[in-house]
Structure 1
Amino acid sequence: MSADPRDPRQRRAARKKPITVERITDAALEVVATEGYDALTIRRVAAVLGTGPSSLYAHIVTKDDIDDLLIGRLYAEVTLPEPDPAAWREQLVGVYTQIRDLYLKYPGISRAALAMVPTSPETLRVGEGILAILLAGGIEPRTAGWARDALSLYVSAYALEQSLVRQRRRQEDPEWVLSQEELLAHFTALPPEKFPQTRAHAAELISGTGPARFDFTLGLLMNNLAPTAG
């Protein structure tokens, strides 16, 4: 029996878009943006695409594959400078600040970068660019590789902590997230015989904004990298 073009079911089937890596990535980002990273599963992505999980298996096999696609999509937006031996620290801060800001746009997405082996072209591109900056600064290759891992780990952890704080604030959990004033009052009320240093320096301990502390920690890590002689 021939197909009837007037059949609504057949028209919907004809209009149905094919599943592609790009559409999977778009749907995964939509889930993270609207529901948070904890909600991201293959089944949830399939539901956003209006299909079943088995339809995705031609492109992805596990949740790790989605993680790689997500980080690759974000890293495609990272602009890499031409490595400058005279400004390599500033260049690293610039690249990692871009990565931090991209992570913060999607709650918890930096978890996808933790313990992930990068395979997407864009993730590898950014890793190559960071390595090139470190090498241009005179850092020997093994130290540069380890430093890149340490810096990347810190940026991922920083963004994850920020997303958790935002989540708790939305849930109005006062026992978990305290204001600076509340934290200062808590520290200065501690028993002086047990916590003399915390009481005496409470204001300094809680000082600074998140971005200021971010820059401080990157600087702390980078300033301990010594260029090789010659």
Structure 2
Amino acid sequence: MAVDPRQRRAARHAQPATAAPRQARRKPPITVDRIIDAALEVVASSGYDALTMRSVAGALDTGPASLYAHVVNKADIDELIVGWLCAQLVLPEPDPATWRAQIVDVCAQIRDRFLAYPGISRAALAMVSTHLDVLRVNEGMLAIVLAGGIEPQTAAWAIDALWLYVSAYALERSLVTQRPGQEDDDRVIGRDELISRLTALPADRFPQIRRYAAELTSGTGHERFDFTLGLLVDNLAQRR
């Protein structure tokens, strides 16, 4: 026989129901991988300047003290995230016939990874890393240049120069895009206005800048990046 709904209601009011104890939601454990993910999230959303132990802990909904069981300090996080970025790079099998194109492609991959996380190349500039994923990239780049017939000492210094240039280029681009209030900032001017200012300089003091203002301000996308890499790599080829 079905129970009348009114009886059910009366029963509920006559005696308080005993609710099952609520179990607290457990937070996922802190791990190195989660710290890396949180650090990258901070950089992607707020830029590298915002990356601190406190901001990473905040992204994980915990306190900074919780991180020290897994990382030594902020510099340790820097090395971890640069290592993570390097792990994403695709390294070719060194080919003596195409080594120049190969090394340029690897540099472009590094550039694009750095640009995806504004300012993160500062971390790469500030460290001499022994992280295995970073060393994997150094090993691959060195193997490519050596396959091109470059003398080992020259190849070693060339790899360092390429890292420095790529990191500095990415940092400069990030600083421009991250500048607060960029649209209203009178320090940011368009190319036409820049050419106008340069051609208005005193002719007796700046004849070359006035004459070549268009050339000095030219270049779109990554044209200047490609140009500079070409200079570096072509010079290496001439040293063989």
TM-score normalised by length of structure 2: 0.87
User: What are the within-5 Å matches in structure 2 for residues 1-230 of structure 1?
Assistant: 6-8=21-23, 11-12=24-25, 15-168=26-179, 170-226=181-237
Q: Is the 8 A contact 2:47 2:178 kept in 1?
A: no
Q: Deviations over 1:28-50 (max 9, x none)?
A: 00100111110000111011111
Secondary structure at the residue paired with 1:34?
helix
What letter is aligned with 2:165? Answer: Y
User: 1:226 offset after TM fit, Å?
Assistant: 4.2
Segments of structure 1 that go 5 or more residues without pairing to the other structure are none
Partners of 2:127 and 2:162 lie apart in 1 by: 15
Relative to structure 1, the CA distance from residue 84 to residue 42 in structure 2 (aligned partners, 3 Å threshold; closer, same or farther) is same
Segments of structure 2 that go 5 or more residues without pairing to the other structure are 1-19
Q: Is the 8 A contact 1:168 1:177 kept in 2?
A: no
TM-score normalised by length of structure 1: 0.91
Q: Is the 8 A contact 1:137 1:227 kept in 2?
A: no
Q: Deviations over 1:53-107 (max 9, x none)?
A: 1111122112111111111111111100100111111001101111111111111
Q: Is the 8 A contact 1:80 1:95 kept in 2?
A: yes
What's the Cα RMSD here? 1.6
Corresponding pairs, count: 221
93-102 vs 50-59, greater mean Cα deviation:
50-59
Larger Rg: 2
Partners of 2:198 and 2:207 lie apart in 1 by: 10
Percent identity reads: 65
Q: Is the 8 A contact 1:25 1:70 kept in 2?
A: yes
Partners of 1:44 and 1:167 lie apart in 2 by: 18
